[in-house]
A and B are shown apart, each in its own frame.
Chain A
Amino acid sequence: MKRAIRVAIPFIVAAFVASACGGAGTSGGTKPAITIGSTNFSEQLVLGELYSQILESNGYAVTRKFNLGNREIVFPALQSGQIDLEADYLATLLAFIDKTATGSTDPKVTAAALQKALTPKGVTVLDYAPAVDQNGFVVTKATADKYKLVKLSDLAPIGNQLVLGGPAECPNREFCALGLKNKYGITFKDFKALDTGGPLTVQALVGGQIDVGLLFTSDSTIAVRGFVLLEDDKQLQLSDNVAPVVRNDYLSKAGDDFKKVVNSIAPKLTTAELTGMNKLVEVDKKDPKDVAKEWLKKQGLIK
């Protein structure tokens, strides 16, 4: 027993030292170490990598805390300083922070409203990209043909025969089941908690366990699987442009150079570019790290 303890001590000490280093980082004056977080679907990993790698190539030490969970976990982590930056979506984040806020289809208006809601939380939203990723409700081709579905309002009269599938938080979200009920008057027969626009939802659609699934509009599997994306004819989904949000504490430490580096991504990131990267990860099974790197190089953002 004694011997075992003696052998274990160096390992324990090493583990402590390593974790201590991870926490403090090598804050080199004007370029303080940053921790970047993300939520739990593949596009978020790509976005996390984009911001991580562009900062790394500009001399920032980056700690990645990806795939933390949904926004209910990631946003409090940002507020409390467990992470410094995450890429989010304007309208969805606004609705999450301020339940009474009404976003807009104009990203400029939504971004301004979001900043107003974020200021008391000590968080700043940086430049948003033209890339939009909204919640999309999809059905299989067979279901669409059977009920002649083209747009979401077509679901209102037959919703009570169909099962909706999506992330567990969907029934409580304005941009998901709650909004479908309030804005479109669609109530479903049942709701099945699956994952956030991921493989379980896709498989449940294919297997027929659900009839309507929540996927993201930038998800390439919609086209690959031949799903029908129902048109959001009453504009439930607002301007969900991709935008990085960052803690003010970090921002004041890092200054303008940091802002410039992060904001250089926004003008180049269009929906088509984002969907293309998502396809490489989801369909072609490439590593988000490599996909992000290649894209940044192609855009001339890193060498």
Chain B
Amino acid sequence: MTLLGDVVRWFADPAHYQGSDAVQTRIYEHLAVSGLAVLAGLVIALPIGLYLGHTGRFGFIAVNVANIGRAIPSLAAIALAIPVAATLVGVQNGLGFWPTFLALIPLAVPPILTNAYVGVRGVDRDVIEAARGMGLSEGGILRRVELPLALPVVLAGIRTAAVNIVATATLGALVAFGGLGRYIVDGLALQEYDRLFAGALLVALLAIAVEVAFGTFERAAVSPGIRVQQRAF
């Protein structure tokens, strides 16, 4: 119970809102790296998933290759990203943002790719045949028929990726990045459990906030006519 009091006091301490270790700075860093990683994941996975879903070819292989991203332990990915980042973007960027960013991308790809593929594949074949019969081009079918119908599933994939990444970006603290993981790693090193708990709480709240934000966006973006009862994978 004393821990809870300590955590409340920790949040009340104005010193924790100043300097490079300020709560708002850490939240910003955390959201920035997470957002960019999701964006990178989208750029990589969405076109591939949609295209493969549309053609229906090589989907099995692509989904399984992408799933390797889930199998790699994030802790190992982040450690391995140090030399990769040093080679790709120079030794002055070998620590901090870049390795964290690079290690998070493989985590964003699998849910986005899988859901995009499965969503498009799941569109009723008769609807597509009808669209083709009406003279729509293949690109037009994907854009104007398949994507709107698959949207709930596609968005659910992006949401899963985003929540995963917000929770995992804490590991960036191990490679000298900021973010909310800083409080967890430093709290452990200093045996300051109030700090550790405050960090964990902030990460959890942030993940929930992202989840809720995506849910609201989904409701707004998806056409009411096709709002399906089924939930995400």
Binding site for B on A (CB under 8 A): 69-70, 72-73, 165, 167-169, 172, 190-194, 200, 203-204, 206-209
Residue pair B186, A193 in contact (C-beta under 8 Å): yes
Nearest to A73 among chain B residues (CB) is B191
Expressed in whole angstroms, the Cα–Cα distance for A70 and B192 within the complex equals 13
Q: Known contacts A72-B191, A204-B176; is A209 also within 8 Å of B95 by CB?
A: yes
Of the listed stretches B45-53, B86-94, B125-133, name the one at the interface; the rest are far from the partner chain. B86-94
Q: Which residues of B sit under 8 angstroms from A209, Cβ to Cβ?
A: 92, 95-96, 176
How far does the alpha carbon of A193 sit from the alpha carbon of B21 in the complex, in Å?
Answer: 11
Q: Is the CB of B186 within 8 A of A168?
A: yes
Q: Does B185 have its Cβ within 8 Å of any Cβ on chain A?
A: yes
**How distant is the Cα of A136 from the Cα of B182 in the complex, in angstroms?**
24
Contacting A at CB under 8 A, from B169-203, are 173, 175-176, 182, 185-186, 188-191
Instruction: Report the interface size for chain B: residues with CB under 8 A from the other chain.
Output: 21
Chain A residues within an 8 Å CB radius of B120 = none
Q: Does B82 contact A (CB under 8 A)?
A: yes
How far apart sit A209 and B86, CA to CA, in the bound complex (Å)?
13
Q: Is the CB of B191 within 8 A of A193?
A: no
Decide yes or no whether B20 CB sits under 8 A from chain A: yes
> Which of chain B's residues has its CB closest to A194's CB?
B176
Query: Are B92's CB and A193's CB within 8 A?
Result: no
Residues of B within 8 A of A (CB): 19-20, 82, 86, 90-96, 173, 175-176, 182, 185-186, 188-191
Residues of B within 8 A of A72 (CB): 189-191
Q: Is the CB of A70 within 8 A of B95?
A: no
Q: Are B175 and A193 in contact (CB under 8 A)?
A: no
Report the separation of the CA atoms of residues A195 and B24 in the bound assembly, to the nearest whole angstrom.
24
The secondary-structure label for the interface of chain A is: mixed
Separation in Å of the A235 CB from the closest CB of chain B?
26
A196 to B218, CA, bound (A): 46
Report Cα–Cα, A72/B186, bound state, in Å. Answer: 12
User: CB distance A168 to B185 under 8 Å?
Assistant: yes
Cα distance, A208 to B176, chains bound together (Å): 13
Q: How far is the CB of B142 from chain A (nearest CB, A)?
A: 44
Interface centre among B91, B95, B96, B185 (most CB of A within 10 A): B95
Kindly state the separation between the CA atoms of A200 and B79 in the bound complex, as whole angstroms.
11
A203 contact from B95, B173, B186, B188, Cβ within 8 A? B95
Specify the chain A residue showing the minimal Cβ separation from B182. A193
- Chain A residue nearest to B191 (CB atoms) is A72
Q: Is the CB of B189 within 8 A of A193?
A: yes
What chain B residues lie within 8 Å of A73 (beta carbons)? 191
| Complex Cα–Cα for A72 and B93 (A) | 31
Indicate if the CB atoms of B92 and A207 lie closer than 8 Å: yes
Contacts of B185 on A, CB cut-off 8 Å? 168, 193
Looking at A167, A190, A194, A209, which has the most chain B CB atoms within 10 Å of its CB?
A: A209
Tell me the bound Cα distance from A209 to B89 in angstroms.
14
On chain A, the residues within 8 Å of B93 by CB distance are: 207
A194 contact set on B, CB distance < 8 A: 95, 176
Once bound together, how far apart are the Cα atoms of A150 and B189, in whole Å? 31
Chain A residues near B175: list those with CB within 8 A: 200
Residues in chain B near residue A208, CB distance under 8 A: 92
Report the bound CA distance from A209 to B20 in whole Å. Answer: 14
Q: List 17 A-B contacts (CB under 8 A).
A: A72-B190, A72-B191, A168-B185, A168-B189, A169-B190, A190-B20, A191-B20, A192-B176, A193-B173, A193-B185, A193-B189, A200-B176, A207-B86, A207-B92, A207-B94, A208-B92, A209-B96
